[in-house]
Structure 1
Amino acid sequence: MRPDVLNDGYRLTTKVLFSLIGLFSRQPVPDAAKLVFYRPDFYGARAKTFTHEAMRGPSAWSVADRELMAAYVSKVNECGFCIGAHTATAGLAYADDDRVRSVLTDVDSAPIEDGLRATLRMLGALTRDGTVTGADMRDLLSAGVTPQQIEDALAVCAAFNTTNRLADAFDFALLTPAAFRAGARYLLERGYR
């Protein structure tokens, strides 16, 4: 059940901001944005900082790779809103929607590097099972993934396992493909702050 707070639980200044966003983008404000503006002192500011660092901070993983990780974790969690948002963002970042779709369809046959494939498999196992093993980590290292890349991928996984659960708990509305694409452009230009 969707709580009313996502529709009207905001201060006047935030309502004006949402109106301006809608006016200029010609798209509805996504529920993910609405959630971070509700109680920013409790959740929003911290979530934005953590997610921005995981998705846009320094990393050997490209922005496109991390957006693909977010889409993959979201697919494992069956979170429709986040699948749509991060599939669009990864596709735009790679400039290759087919690559992203192929990974989400079958990671084992997708045209991606072995290290990324091994990382996605590990993130899928962690998301599904809540645990990974030493063997999982050795597989990543033997595929050429560095310890820092593992840490970076785990940060993406943590951010989106949290976001997926919130999106489902708050019943985030699915957007049109055009709205997901507009959101993707915003995320690629400005990040998660």
Structure 2
Amino acid sequence: MSNFSFLKSEDGVLEILGHNPERFNPTAELINNILRGESELSISERELIFAYVSACNSCSFCMGAHQEIAQEFGLALGVLDELVNSGEHKSIDAKLKPCLALAKKVAKESSRVVKEDVSAIINAGWQEETAHDVVSIAALATFYNLLVNAHGVSGTPDYFKMCAKMFGAKGGYIPPA
């Protein structure tokens, strides 16, 4: 159930942001830059990291929406569920595993991130900038997770599919003018 009179429980982040566009429109540019800007990480990998952090933060809305978006960009079905439900990383490329470990650490205990966490990403074959991207994705996801959870919206499978169409291969996160 929604915690605010202007929302229904089946609503999502779009209704939260739309309630006060002057406040939230600038975040569209930020999320577009982090999830669609230049990065060694593919868009699918960035969306997976966002969804994984959302699962770590118990935000079912953001997890569901970003899982659908990641799948729109080629993430295989079941990968996120495997990560979240079993802790297994069998379907995950070994190179991505330290990125997911850092993302989880940022979400759950950011004050304990150390240089070795960044080094693990570099040692896996990424540039240091990729570790910075992972931290940025995890921080952004955590912001949205807190916003959505505190507003008490949960979305629906149809809402998540709509997000995948809006923010998927034919779209970005900046609303049309």
Specify the TM-score bucket, using the shorter chain as the normaliser. 0.7 to 0.9
1:180 aligns with 2:163: no
Q: Which runs of no fewer than 5 residues in structure 2 stay unpaired? A: none
CA distance in 2, matches of 1:85, 1:30: 12
Map Cα deviations across residues 103-138 of structure 1 (whole Å, 9 max, x no partner): 333454332222211100111011111220111111
Does the 8 Å CA contact 1:51/1:192 hold for their aligned counterparts? yes
Map Cα deviations across residues 2-25 of structure 1 (whole Å, 9 max, x no partner): 111336xxxxxxxxxxxxxxxxxx
User: What residue is the counterpart of 1:56 in the other structure?
Assistant: 36
The offset of 1:31, in angstroms, is 2.2
Letter in 2 for 1:145: W
Q: How does 1:43-192 map to 2 (within 5 A)?
A: 44-106=24-86, 108-131=88-111, 132-175=113-156, 177-188=157-168, 189-192=170-173
Letter in 1 for 2:67: T
Does the 8 Å CA contact 2:3/2:151 hold for their aligned counterparts? yes
The offset of 1:95, in angstroms, is 4.9
Letter in 1 for 2:95: G
Does the 8 Å CA contact 2:52/2:84 hold for their aligned counterparts? yes
Does the 8 Å CA contact 1:91/1:99 hold for their aligned counterparts? no
Q: Secondary structure, in 3 states, of the residue corresponding to 1:97?
A: coil
Q: How does 1:15-34 map to 2 (within 5 A)?
A: 30-34=11-15
Flag the structure with higher helix content.
1
The offset of 1:151, in angstroms, is 1.5
1:36 aligned to 14, 17, 24, which one?
A: 17
CA distance in 1, matches of 2:95, 2:29: 27
Using structure 1 for the length normalisation, give the TM-score. Answer: 0.80
Percent of residue pairs bearing the same amino acid type? 22
Aligned residues: 171
User: Which one has a bigger Cα radius of gyration?
Assistant: 1
CA distance in 2, matches of 1:95, 1:112: 10
Q: Which runs of no fewer than 5 residues in structure 1 stay unpaired? A: 8-28
- RCO (CA 8 Å, sep 6+): is it higher in 1 or 2? 2
